[in-house]
């Protein structure tokens, strides 16, 4: 086998560091350039996405690189959504009827640090911080970086450059601006932004509310969620419109207004967030956007991966898992075509793009589901029925959520297609009173499956061949 190429990875975030680790394991010479300081030495979180949902697709990726056992201690299992209404009533809605299926809250920083350390164990992997990518010449394969320490620009030439540089990717920008080829591109923002707040631990380091759940305060036009951290705190995220409705980010400009908003809508949260107004005004308000593009690669030289190729909104808890799965799929394609980068890149996109498009769309769906539908009676009845089906037929019934989250070998695009048809079947059968809840559950299962298949068939015919 010929000497492996020099690889440059732009970005040492979750995707870039996992990719570096895997390529290091495969024997490549890898340089990773990261604009921020080493997060193992400096706290750089600053009120943004402190913790994330980690589930089976992510775990599969950790198994690929052999570090799942080191990741699990960083995880806090969340068995379901714990829904809080305005009166302070709560109810739990499990993620699955199977006991072994749950998602995890994990610190982005802790996981990223572990991946960096594991990658650096490989002598051929070099991670360099404080270098911001300012330009990529996709013809000559040269990336230019501004060094925050020397204040100078440096150029790095590599055989292959991976853009794992996140939603604001410089490599993607090069594709867009250089106009060397027809580049399909979209950036779509929701009308809502988000802001992070926090529930501190108790004086003794305990949790102020239920630890093993994803808390949610759905209010129709806006919502709050909270995820637990290992230190007993919760990271709280407010999703709110920028400029619509009685309360929005643009008109919540005083401490009094913020206090009034929380008293009216989230009274049970007020005692839990002691620094409410301080955090509200200190932490940034960030937009929620979806990015899709194609092609992801140029010749045999450069490839977009992770958020750089497909940034999604956070409502399915799949952003990190999808980026990790990118590396799993890429690794499989590399097994097949190693040595022919252009073939690897094209095959990878052909296999992967439909799935990242699907999870992007599913995440938007869940934005509405979480805000509105979790409190809708038909939706609640559907969830209850699905829990019963999963509990009683653990090998035969999988909700859309389970297919997306816990069935790591089912591609997102199939999970979406089947899951949407199944949801449609269930919601219509419930709305039309076609499900006799006193009937035998096995009969209900058969009916749901038949109806789902009919919906899939009808869609196939309506779309003819395409």
Instruction: Note the residues at the interface with a copy of itself (CB under 8 A).
Output: 182-189, 242, 287, 289, 292, 368, 372-373, 376, 378-379, 420, 423-424, 427-428, 431, 458-459, 461-462, 464-466
Q: Minimal CA–CA distance to 124: which of 24, 243, 241?
A: 24
Q: Between residues 85 and 243, which has the closer beta carbon with respect to a copy of itself? A: 243
Angle at 310 between CA 307 and CA 316, to 5 degrees: 85
Q: How far is the CB of 17 from a copy of itself (least distance, A)?
A: 29
Q: How far is the CB of 332 from a copy of itself (least distance, A)?
A: 24
Q: Cα(466)–Cα(460) distance, rounded to whole angstroms?
A: 9
Q: Between residues 185 and 281, which has the closer beta carbon with respect to a copy of itself? A: 185
Q: How far is the CB of 423 from a copy of itself (least distance, A)?
A: 6
Do residues 11 and 308 lie in contact, with contact meaning Cβ atoms separated by under 8 Å?
A: yes
Q: How far is the CB of 65 from a copy of itself (least distance, A)?
A: 35
Q: Between residues 187 and 253, which has the closer beta carbon with respect to a copy of itself? A: 187
Contacts of 229 (CB under 8 A, 6+ apart): 50, 51, 76, 105, 107, 235
Q: How far is the CB of 395 from a copy of itself (least distance, A)?
A: 26
Q: How far is the CB of 245 from a copy of itself (least distance, A)?
A: 15
Q: How far is the CB of 182 from a copy of itself (least distance, A)?
A: 4
State the maximum Cα–Cα separation within the chain, in Å, rounded to a whole number: 73
- Helix, strand or coil for residue 50? coil
Q: Between residues 343 and 424, which has the closer beta carbon with respect to a copy of itself? A: 424
| Exposure string over 248-278, b if 16+ CB within 10 A, otherwise e | bbeebeeeeebeebbeebbebbeebbeebbe
Q: Between residues 134 and 186, which has the closer beta carbon with respect to a copy of itself? A: 186
Q: Between residues 188 and 253, which has the closer beta carbon with respect to a copy of itself? A: 188
E strand segments, 233-321: 234-241, 286-294, 297-298, 302-304
Burial of 205 (0-12, 13-18, 19+ CB in 10 A): exposed
Q: How far is the CB of 314 from a copy of itself (least distance, A)?
A: 16
Cis preceding-peptide flag for 466 (omega within 30 of 0)? no
Q: Cα(103)–Cα(58) distance, rounded to whole angstroms?
A: 10
Q: Cα(230)–Cα(176) distance, rounded to whole angstroms?
A: 41
Q: What is the DSSP string of 426-466?
A: HHHHHHTT---TTS-HHHHHHHHHHHHHHHHHHHHHHTTT-
Give the helix/strand (H/E) hosting 346: helix 341-371
Q: How far is the CB of 36 from a copy of itself (least distance, A)?
A: 21
Q: Between residues 56 and 349, which has the closer beta carbon with respect to a copy of itself? A: 349
Q: How far is the CB of 367 from a copy of itself (least distance, A)?
A: 9
Q: How far is the CB of 354 from a copy of itself (least distance, A)?
A: 15
Q: Cα(143)–Cα(136) distance, rounded to whole angstroms?
A: 4
Q: Between residues 1 and 461, which has the closer beta carbon with respect to a copy of itself? A: 461
- Relative to beta strand 51-54, strand 29-33 is unpaired
Q: Between residues 110 and 423, which has the closer beta carbon with respect to a copy of itself? A: 423
How many C-beta neighbours within 10 Å does residue 279 have? 17
Q: Cα(420)–Cα(405) distance, rounded to whole angstroms?
A: 14
How many C-beta neighbours within 10 Å does residue 237 have? 21
Q: Between residues 188 and 396, which has the closer beta carbon with respect to a copy of itself? A: 188
Q: Between residues 229 and 301, which has the closer beta carbon with respect to a copy of itself? A: 301
- The token duo for 143 is 């990336």
Q: Minimal CA–CA distance to 290: which of 385, 398, 191?
A: 191
Q: How far is the CB of 34 from a copy of itself (least distance, A)?
A: 24
Q: Between residues 154 and 378, which has the closer beta carbon with respect to a copy of itself? A: 378
């Amino acid at each position: 086998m010929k000497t492996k190429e020099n690889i440059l990875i732009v970005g040492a975030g979750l995707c870039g560091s996992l990719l570096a680790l895997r390529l290091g394991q495969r024997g490549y010479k890898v340089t990773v350039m990261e604009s921020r300081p080493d997060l193992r030495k400096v706290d750089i979180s600053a009120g943004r996405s402190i913790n994330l949902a980690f589930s089976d697709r992510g775990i599969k990726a950790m198994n690929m690189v052999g570090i799942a056992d080191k990741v699990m201690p960083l995880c806090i299992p969340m068995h379901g959504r714990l829904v809080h209404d305005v009166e302070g009533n709560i109810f739990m809605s499990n993620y699955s009827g199977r006991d072994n299926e749950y998602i995890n809250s994990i610190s982005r920083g802790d996981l990223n640090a572990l991946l960096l350390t594991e990658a650096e164990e490989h002598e051929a992997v070099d991670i360099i911080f404080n270098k911001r990518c300012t330009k990529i010449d996709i013809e000559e394969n040269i990336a230019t970086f501004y060094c925050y320490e020397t204040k100078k620009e440096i150029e790095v030439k590599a055989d292959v450059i991976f853009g794992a540089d996140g939603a604001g990717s410089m490599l993607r920008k090069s594709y867009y601006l250089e106009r060397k080829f027809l580049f399909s591109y979209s950036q779509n923002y929701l009308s809502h932004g988000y802001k992070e707040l926090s529930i501190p631990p108790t004086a003794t380091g305990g949790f102020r509310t239920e630890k093993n759940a994803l808390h949610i305060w759905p209010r129709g036009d806006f919502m709050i969620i909270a995820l637990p951290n290992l230190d007993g705190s919760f990271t709280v995220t407010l999703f709110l419109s920028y400029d619509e409705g009685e309360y929005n980010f643009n008109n919540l400009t005083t401490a009094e207004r913020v206090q009034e908003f929380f008293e009216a809508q989230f009274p049970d949260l007020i005692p839990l967030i002691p620094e409410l107004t301080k955090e509200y005004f200190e932490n940034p308000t960030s937009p929620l956007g979806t990015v899709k593009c194609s092609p992801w690669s140029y010749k045999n030289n450069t490839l977009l991966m992770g958020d750089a190729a497909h940034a999604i909104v956070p409502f399915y808890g799949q952003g990190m898992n999808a980026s990790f799965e990118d590396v799993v799929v890429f690794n499989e394609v590399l097994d097949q075509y190693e040595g022919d980068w252009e073939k690897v890149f094209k095959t990878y996109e052909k296999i992967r793009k439909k799935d990242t498009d699907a999870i992007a769309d599913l995440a938007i769906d869940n934005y509405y589901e979480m805000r509105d539908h979790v409190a809708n009676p038909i939706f609640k009845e559907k969830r209850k029925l699905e829990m019963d089906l999963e509990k009683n037929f653990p090998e035969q019934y999988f909700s859309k959520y389970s297919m997306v989250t816990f069935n790591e070998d089912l591609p997102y695009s199939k999970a979406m297609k089947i899951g949407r048809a199944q949801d449609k079947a269930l919601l219509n059968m419930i709305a039309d009173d076609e499900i006799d809840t006193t009937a035998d559950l096995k009969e209900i299962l058969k009916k749901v499956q038949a109806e789902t298949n009919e919906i899939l068939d009808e869609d196939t015919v309506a779309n003819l061949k395409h």
